[in-house]
Amino acid sequence: MTQTKLLSLSVVFLLLFGTLYVALKEWPIIIQSYGSENYPTTIGNVKEIKELDRPGRRGGFEIKKIVVDFIWDNKTYRTTSPGLSFDEKLFNKVRKTRSITVWVNELNPQKSVLSPGVPWYRFFLASLVSIVSLLLLILSIMMIKKSY
């Protein structure tokens, strides 16, 4: 294998693992929030809330940590998932009132979210990154087969 081919393969692998990381990090969050706008709701008590000192990854607001206790079916549960629609306006309201609506995942209440739904752009970007990952995987397999 020539040095140029090795370098090309290395770049493809780096891109592949970078896009795979993003896709694998984003999809569980999307899956957790998908359909949550149809979940039943209850009121939760905010135990802890912190925002990041710096702007979010995309230049917008990003929450660092939120811990909310809520009662569902006469049991107390805790969620730490702000959901994908949690914004600065909701953060300011919650910080003042120390209570928040919880969209309860009845199958697994610990996976309940504090803001329902999946914004279209999050779904679109995760899908795009997943497709790019798949294409890079196919490209790397083709490059390896061609090299041998």
Asked if 54 and 92 sit in the same domain, the reply is yes
Tens-digit pLDDT profile for residues 78-121: 999 888 887 778 888 888 999 999 999 999 999 999 988 888 88
Between residues 114 and 15, which one has the greater pLDDT? 114
- First-to-last CA distance in the chain? 8
Same-domain check for residues 124 and 82: no
Spatial separation of the C-alpha atoms in residues 39 and 81, rounded to whole Å = 15
Same-domain pairing of 74 and 29: no
- Which range marks the domain in which residue 142 is found? 1-34+118-148
Spatial distance between the Cα atoms of 82 and 56, rounded to a whole number of angstroms? 14
Q: Are residues 112 and 122 in the same domain?
A: no
Q: What is the pLDDT of residue 19?
A: 77
* 49 and 9 both lie in a single domain: no
Q: Tell me the whole-structure pTM to 2 decimals.
A: 0.70
Report pLDDT for 10: 76
**Do 23 and 78 fall within a single domain?**
no
Output the pLDDT for position 109: 94
CA distances for 110 relative to 30, 47, 64, 114, 127, angstroms: 16, 15, 18, 11, 26
